[in-house]
Amino acid sequence: MSRVIHPRLARPQWWRDAVVYQIYPRSFADAHGDGLGDIPGVTSRVWYLRELGVDAVWLSPFYPSQLADGGYDVDDYRDVDPRLGSLAEFDEMVAALHSAGIGVIVDLVPNHTSNRHAWFVEALAASPGAAARERYLFRDGANGGIEPPNEWESLFGGSAWTPAGDGQWYLHLFAPEQPDLNWDNPEVRIDFENTLRFWSDRGVDGFRVDVAHGLVKDLEEPWERQDELELWPRPDGSHPLWDRDGVMDIYRSWRRVFDCYDPPRFAVAEASVHPSRRARYASPETLGQAFNFAMSDADWRPGDFHEVVDTALRDAAESGSSTTWLLGGHDSPRVASRFGLPLIPSPRVYADTADGRPFRHDSQWLARQWLLSDGRRPHVDHELGRRRARAATLIELALPGCTYVYQGDELGLPEVADLPPEVLQDPMAGRSAREKGRDGCRVPLPWSADRNALGGNSFGFGRDGAHLPQPDWFADFAVDVQSADPTSTLTMFRRAVALRASLLAEASGESPAAAGGFAWVPAVEGVLHFHRGLWHCVTNFTDGAVPRPAGEVLLCSAPEGAGDGVPANSTVWLRAS
Ligand code: GLC
């Protein structure tokens, strides 16, 4: 499909320093009026995305799916879920986004299909040993087939094996509706390359690769015991399920596909790997970019942020790519709530690595435990959380690299922590009595403070309600309210993205992608200060105002403005004189 390329997307490797907005399509905007967000809903909000100033959108899966895992259970990789639209409507959406200069990244889910995918239906109907079973990971059950082959557990709880009914069992690292593919089978490899071409031919600019570290597995016996299997990959690639070296062969062949296009397509890996191995996914020979989740785990402490930034920039230099920044996403409790939780006294260190870098998983994990638990819920200071989230947003937007922003975070939307159990959709919900899962960050966006704006009891989301119930307080966060408020989080976000674009362009003339400079500036305790040329970013992590370095204030995250200093829990952007 030939198209005129918007100058913004024609820049070589525009994605290296892009601001990418993550759309969770079922919860963004509902044009069909059935309570479920859809593709025409995205098209109907191109004005909003243009006003945000983002360079690209990443769409979480919109493919046909029974929604056993929010669409990450794909029935057909080359179609649109009829409830969400059609391929023609997808093309219209891409055209509308492109003419606004906004790139399109789609989510690819290669670790597993859904159990309704034609291949899996065929595999289940086939006999043990049949070629159709070789596309998945079937094994004989133990004890004559009546027990799973081993004791491995799925990430969503319960056994990682489900019986096929004839003595064999299939592996699923996630829900039983998500059978894992066998990437040793060349047919699987060829088919996914065809999927890459299918969407690239339709004008898609990039791919977000789900569970990118999971594809290649070692299922040779003897199996490792469940208690030996860390949830997190090992620094030496020896884990039987995660981050095996063979994964890179797949991505090198994908690179050959990407490079057939002009401009070349790119991909970003969702790879929960040891930090020392992330560079391999982001290399120009493989996917080009990898998510760095460290900032979404960081606590509101200058030391945490300092370390996250240093590590990310070092890893980026190693990979030859730019780094990525994320504060939230569809899998994590909302950042505005997380930063309102009490600070964790000492973050957990899961492993100390060969090269001495700690591998931590802290506030994110605790936020899930704390915020979503029943009964023992700690006090969440919403005002403080929102304030810190605004300050953190200005940090990530000032740093070199690509920033991913999850829908609703530009509104400072808090987690909906009290969804009643009967409405929960996430397969993670109910794994334990306290686990509420990820639905609280997936509640449809409030577009209007009027619940019945479209006659639909959905704060302007659609004409017929919202597939997850929106609380009354969503009115305060609605797009129309915030658009009219010069101190709102949305207004701050729009200003920040616009300023960032002009500062980068100014710094580097014709090619903003080349703007790289970054250096720390010594600061008083509780303050982080860095600069990129004349552009300075100063964050005060403390609860009292601190003096402000010299320079013209360009933007302040605090709703009340900068005043004479840097206000408590705030970031200020300055232009040095
Ligand atoms: C990724 C997705 C998550 C999904 C899982 C299984 O982590 O972000 O939402 O549940 O993969 O596909």
Cβ–ligand 1 distance for 38 under 6 Å, the answer no
Cβ–ligand 1 distance for 24 under 6 Å, the answer no
Mean of all residue pLDDT scores within the chain: 91
Cβ–ligand 1 distance for 210 under 6 Å, the answer yes
Cβ–ligand 1 distance for 331 under 6 Å, the answer yes
Burial label for 356, CB within 10 Å (0-12, 13-18, 19+), is exposed
Question: What is the predicted pLDDT for the residue at 157?
Answer: 86
Cβ–ligand 1 distance for 211 under 6 Å, the answer yes
Among protein residues, the one with the nearest Cα to ligand 1's atom 12 is 72
Q: What are phi and psi of 282, to 5 degrees?
A: -95, 5
Which comes out higher in pLDDT, residue 293 or 350?
Answer: 293
Query: What domains are defined for the chain?
Result: 7-112+186-215+241-350+357-483 (3.20.20.80), 118-171 (3.90.400.10)
| Highest mean predicted confidence (pLDDT) among 135-144, 222-231, 350-359, 417-426 | 135-144
| pLDDT single digits (tens) 431-444 | 666 677 899 999 99
What's the 426 CA to ligand 1 centre distance in angstroms? 11
For the cut 60, the answer to whether the pLDDT of residue 512 exceeds it is no
What's the 212 CA to ligand 1 centre distance in angstroms? 10
Tell me the average pLDDT across 488-500. Answer: 98
To test the ligand 1 pocket, which listed residue (62, 174, 207, 364) has its Cβ within 8 A of the most ligand atoms? 174
| pLDDT single digits (tens) 186-208 | 999 999 999 999 999 999 999 99
Residue type at 500? R
- Of 155-159, 226-230, 478-482, 536-540, the least confident: 226-230
Tell me the average pLDDT across 383-405. Answer: 97
Tell me the average pLDDT across 388-395. Answer: 98
Cβ–ligand 1 distance for 109 under 6 Å, the answer yes
What's the 210 CA to ligand 1 centre distance in angstroms? 6
Cβ–ligand 1 distance for 175 under 6 Å, the answer no
CB 204 within 8 A of CB 226: no
Q: Is the dihedral of CA 318, 321, 327, 332 positive or negative?
A: negative
Beta bridge partners of 206: 105, 266
CB 185 within 8 A of CB 241: no
What's the 109 CA to ligand 1 centre distance in angstroms? 8
CA 456/CA 479 separation, integer angstroms? 16
Question: What is the predicted pLDDT for the residue at 354?
Answer: 46
Determine the 3-state secondary structure of 191 from DSSP. Answer: helix
- What six digits make up the tokens of 439? 């639905």
| pLDDT single digits (tens) 216-235 | 999 999 999 988 887 767 88
Among protein residues, the one with the nearest Cα to ligand 1's atom 2 is 210
For the cut 70, the answer to whether the pLDDT of residue 370 exceeds it is no
What's the 117 CA to ligand 1 centre distance in angstroms? 17
What's the 73 CA to ligand 1 centre distance in angstroms? 9
Among protein residues, the one with the nearest Cα to ligand 1's atom 4 is 72
Cβ–ligand 1 distance for 72 under 6 Å, the answer yes
| pLDDT single digits (tens) 58-75 | 999 999 999 999 999 999
CB 30 within 8 A of CB 460: no
Cβ–ligand 1 distance for 177 under 6 Å, the answer no
- Report DSSP letters for 70-88, one per residue: TT-S-S-TTS--TTT--HH
To test the ligand 1 pocket, which listed residue (154, 232, 331, 332) has its Cβ within 8 A of the most ligand atoms? 331
What's the 338 CA to ligand 1 centre distance in angstroms? 20
Question: What is the predicted pLDDT for the residue at 1?
Answer: 46
- Of 52-56, 435-439, 535-539, the least confident: 435-439
| pLDDT single digits (tens) 151-191 | 999 998 899 999 999 999 999 999 999 999 999 999 999 99
CA 71/CA 175 separation, integer angstroms? 12
| pLDDT single digits (tens) 297-327 | 888 999 999 999 999 999 888 888 889 999 9
What's the CA angle centered on 525, arms 547 and 499, to 5 degrees? 55
What's the 72 CA to ligand 1 centre distance in angstroms? 6
What's the 197 CA to ligand 1 centre distance in angstroms? 23
What's the 399 CA to ligand 1 centre distance in angstroms? 27
What's the 524 CA to ligand 1 centre distance in angstroms? 40
For the cut 90, the answer to whether the pLDDT of residue 507 exceeds it is no
For the cut 60, the answer to whether the pLDDT of residue 355 exceeds it is no
Determine the 3-state secondary structure of 484 from DSSP. Answer: coil
3-class secondary structure per residue, 491-524: HHHHHHHHHHHHHHHHHHCCCHHHCCCCEECCCC
For residue 326, give Cα distances in angstroms to 68, 397, 528: 25, 10, 18
Cβ–ligand 1 distance for 291 under 6 Å, the answer no
CA 118/CA 516 separation, integer angstroms? 47
Cβ–ligand 1 distance for 174 under 6 Å, the answer yes
Which comes out higher in pLDDT, residue 211 or 227?
Answer: 211
